[in-house]
Chains A and B, each alone.
Chain A
Amino acid sequence: MLRLIATCLFCFIAAAAPAQDRAPNDSTVLTNPAVSGLEDILRRQQALKTADGAERATQIGDPAVASPETDQLGTLGGASDADLWRAYRFNAADIYTQSRGPASTTLIQDSGMWWLAVREGPLATYGAWLLVGTIGLLALFYLLRGRVRIDGEKTGRTITRFKSFERFGHWLLAGSFVVLGITGLISLFGRKVMIPLFGHDSFSILAIASKWVHNNISWAFMIALVLIFFMWVLENIPNRLDLKWIAVGGGLFKKGVHPPAKKFNAGQKVIFWSVIVLGTSISVSGLALLFPFELPMFGKTFGVLNATGLPELMGLGVLPTQLTPHAEMQFSQLWHAIMGFVLMAIILAHIYIGSVGMEGAFDAMGSGEVEEQWAREHHSLWVDEVKAKETSTAAATPAE
């Protein structure tokens, strides 16, 4: 008998349930927050999702229309959890924190999700394709052109191309940049690529080590950047000879073509200025990341860009100039990575032509002494200058 009564009771409750779940009409939902029910909450959330930020900012609870706390799904003093979080987000809540620093004033930052999506999506995807594409193009160039050989007969004599200190500066920059590139790629792709391969525990150790190395070896890169700038800037100022060099592609695409060049040809000048400009940009954005919230620069930069009218011309609209400290950091990270990818692609080409791509090129930065014939083919005017200097020095020295 008891079982029969229980069965009837269950059927009654089951039949009544849909009536309880039935949602009130839309106008009731949107105008009376006191109406509570799952459907009601979901509908209200949907409506809020489509509203703009300004409208959402007003949805922070109102004790006058609140359900009593004792009710099911009743609000706490007129504001539900969602209302409270919206109040935090739109800085409408009276919040105190023991945290110090400029970032403590922003508890929730909406645009953080945009940054995350860009970092995980287009930045990683296009960045990877840029590097893979560059390596592919270099491999194709090698297959089609082969190694750029010394065309003339080797003399057996060498000429000093770079002094020890110049090579030290180059390798300080090159070594630190290679390490920065690798550790930067680990930071960006580790979660997607390395965790599936090595697991969380192993990657954790690698990620911590990468971060330490990346943060600290960056100083070697910045010091070397200043060093090579002052060492080589005068010889890298563009001149009319560079146009001739560019016109024949530096002789890279055809055997027996050797355009005249001084110490640095147009291709090397492109590498030099890319390293200086992009390296400086990477360094400055890196410093902003090294010292969180201390070097905000994107708000001001966007203001300057807006004044030029370029962003609107490019269909980007007016760029935001009032950025939260977190947004500043996020733009720094994106810029740092984009510039890093571009410089890595350029440096891949530099490494190629300085090693397997050209016979005798590595000696310039290896021993510092290059085959005289190599020097005549790639830097003929520089060889003339060196020889003229040697002759004048010999003439000025009285015979014993």
Chain B
Amino acid sequence: MKPMLIAFVVAGLIAFGADYGLDYAGFTSQERTAGAAVRLD
């Protein structure tokens, strides 16, 4: 059962890694489709 549990943990780690990595690389829909002139934040 160990490979199953490791796989579930790895799936979570990949998810967090993907979120951080894509954000770091500027691949967010906000970055790609909104202009700074209309940004409210």
Q: Which residues of A are in contact with B by a Cβ distance under 8 Å?
A: 98-101, 103-104, 164-165, 167-172, 174-176, 179, 212-213, 215-220, 223-224, 291-294, 365-368
Contact = CB atoms under 8 A, between A and B. Distances in A.
B16 to A, nearest CB: 7
Contact of B37 (A98, A172, A367): A98
B1 interface: yes
B3 A168 contact: yes
Contacts of A217: 11-12, 14-15
B33 A179 contact: no
A366 B1 contact: yes
Residue with the highest number of chain B CB atoms closer than 10 Å, among A165, A175, A215: A175
B4 interface: yes
Contact of B18 (A172, A179, A219): A219
B27 A219 contact: no
Residue with the highest number of chain A CB atoms closer than 10 Å, among B4, B27, B35: B4
A219 B15 CA distance: 7
Interface in B16-31: 16-19, 27, 29
B37 A168 contact: no
Contacts of B40: none
Contacts of A104: 33
By DSSP majority rule, is chain A's interface helix, strand, loop, or mixed? helix
26 contacts: A98-B38, A99-B35, A99-B38, A100-B34, A100-B35, A104-B33, A167-B3, A168-B3, A168-B4, A168-B7, A169-B7, A171-B4, A171-B8, A172-B10, A174-B7, A176-B11, A216-B14, A217-B14, A218-B18, A219-B14, A219-B17, A291-B27, A293-B33, A366-B1, A366-B4, A367-B1
A190 to B, nearest CB: 20
A223 B4 contact: no
Contacts of B14: 216-217, 219-220, 223
A100 B37 CA distance: 10
A169 to B, nearest CB: 8
- Give the interface size bracket for B toward A: 20 to 34
Contacts of B7: 167-172, 174-175, 224
Nearest to A176: B11
Given A101-B32, A291-B27, A366-B1, A216 B8 contact: no
Given A101-B32, A293-B33, A179 B11 contact: yes
A386 B24 CA distance: 48
Contacts of B19: 212, 215-216
Contacts of A169: 7
B10 A220 contact: yes
B4 A103 contact: no
Nearest to A100: B35
A167 B2 CA distance: 9
B15 A103 contact: no
Contacts of B18: 216, 218-219
Contacts of A176: 11
Contacts of A367: 1
A179 B8 CA distance: 10
Nearest to B6: A168
Nearest to B33: A101
Given A291-B27, A292-B32, A220 B15 contact: yes
Residue with the highest number of chain A CB atoms closer than 10 Å, among B3, B16, B32, B34: B3
Nearest to A179: B11
A100 B35 CA distance: 6
A171 to B, nearest CB: 4
B33 A100 contact: yes
A99 B8 contact: no
A368 B15 CA distance: 27
A222 to B, nearest CB: 9
Contacts of A292: 29, 32-33
